[in-house]
Amino acid sequence: MRLTLVVIAALAVALAAHAAVDVSLSGPQVSKEGDEQRLISTATLGNEVASYTLVYDRNIRADQPGEATSHWWGWTSGFIPIGMIQPSQANWYWQAFLNWTFDEESLHQRPAEARRVRSGQDGVIEFAWDTPKVKASLFFALPSGSDKLLVFGQYEPKAPVKTSKLTLICYPTGFGAPHNRAVTTALGTQRDTGAKTLDLTKERWVLYEDVTPDRPGSGSAGLLIGTPDAFANITTPTGGYGLTTTATLKPEARSFALGLYDFPSLPDCQQTRDYFKASADAEAAALDRMAAAVASAGDFALAAPIGARRLV
């Protein structure tokens, strides 16, 4: 009995020692491109099961410090040039995978300050924008044990905002043809059925898939909707090449929480469906509670560590 307790205690200590989330933020590396400066910041959040790397690669002109461009195609198509290069280049896109707009104001055209908020029991990086129209932050957070990168958004308008939208783009599994894309939620799988609007009372997670049999690649991309009450609607195509999901915030919403899954070590789309069906509703609900805790703390740095865990 005593030996068992000692073993359990030793295991608990060992698990606690491993339950650390490492966060690194390097750069910006600065180089000159014509009359612009190119700045590259690299953020990595890693825990026991996953490591997510974000690269923020933007150009800024000295005479226009409030504006940003990027030479990446992903930026030219309207996405913030923060790319998710790990766990895979595919899925949430390695050049640029999201954007956030407030009427005509688009964060992809504005420079962000990147900041390491904390590491340890969880890891958090903040990208913060201060534009003429809004102050906005995207916090990327990795809890210990989580295989999903969480995204917490917050904004305060400086001028009236009628419509705020998020767009998220992924290339499920890989880039090469054929592109037999499909989208799976709790309500089933759809292929080439046009734009799908989620039923946010029942569809709290989305898998973006390529269903080509035996295709090698990086598995499915996943999305958790932590805060369904923040969104007026969320739509996604069910076929194509790159899949762009559009999430429109409710006019009164000032924050939201999502989870992003980009995890090539589980490449089979049916296995990933089984995994999400078993666990993703509970994780989305946990994410909603975390978002409420962050909101009540007022400041992300003051909120208790995020307690999500991988549920398999």
CA–CA separation, 61 vs 182, rounded Å?
41
User: Segment 155-194, which members bind Ca ion (CB under 5 A)?
Assistant: none
147 contacts Ca ion (rule: CB under 5 A): no
91 or 146: whose CB is closer to Ca ion? 91
Instruction: Compute the least distance from the CB of residue 142 to Ca ion, in Å.
Output: 15
96 or 284: whose CB is closer to Ca ion? 96
Which region holds residue 110: left if phi is over 0, alpha if psi is between -120 and 50, else beta? beta
- What are the C-alpha distances in Å from 252 to residues 99, 153, 163, 289? 19, 14, 10, 19
Looking at beta carbons, which residue is closest to Ca ion? 84
Binding mask 202-241 for Ca ion (x = CB under 5 A): ----------------------------------------
15's enclosing H/E stretch is: helix 2-18
Instruction: Compute the least distance from the CB of residue 88 to Ca ion, in Å.
Output: 5
CA–CA separation, 230 vs 79, rounded Å?
21
Residue 1 CB-density burial (10 A; 0-12 exposed, 13-18 middle, 19+ buried): exposed
224's enclosing H/E stretch is: strand 221-225
94 or 231: whose CB is closer to Ca ion? 94
Instruction: Compute the least distance from the CB of residue 45 to Ca ion, in Å.
Output: 14
CA–CA separation, 29 vs 148, rounded Å?
27
CA–CA separation, 27 vs 7, rounded Å?
43
Question: Binder to Ca ion among 52, 79, 92, 208 (CB under 5 A)?
Answer: 92
C-beta of residue 98 within 8 angstroms of C-beta of residue 167: yes
Instruction: Compute the least distance from the CB of residue 74 to Ca ion, in Å.
Output: 11
91 contacts Ca ion (rule: CB under 5 A): yes
47 or 88: whose CB is closer to Ca ion? 88
Interface segment toward Ca ion; rule CB under 5 A; list 34-42, 114-122, 259-267, 276-284? 259-267
36 or 147: whose CB is closer to Ca ion? 147
Binding mask 66-85 for Ca ion (x = CB under 5 A): ------------------x-
47 or 218: whose CB is closer to Ca ion? 218
262 contacts Ca ion (rule: CB under 5 A): yes
CA–CA separation, 268 vs 213, rounded Å?
9
Instruction: Report DSSP letters for 46-115, one per residue.
Output: E-SS-EEEEEEEEEEETTEEEEEE-SSHHHHTT-BSEEEEES-STEETSS--EEEEETTEEGGGS--EEE
Instruction: Compute the least distance from the CB of residue 89 to Ca ion, in Å.
Output: 6
Report how many residues bind Ca ion under the rule CB under 5 A.
5
The Cβ of residue 245 has, within 10 Å, a number of other Cβ atoms equal to: 22
89 or 236: whose CB is closer to Ca ion? 89
Interface segment toward Ca ion; rule CB under 5 A; list 256-264, 266-274, 289-297, 298-306? 256-264
Instruction: Compute the least distance from the CB of residue 143 to Ca ion, in Å.
Output: 19
- Residues near Ca ion (CB under 5 A) are 84, 88, 91-92, 262
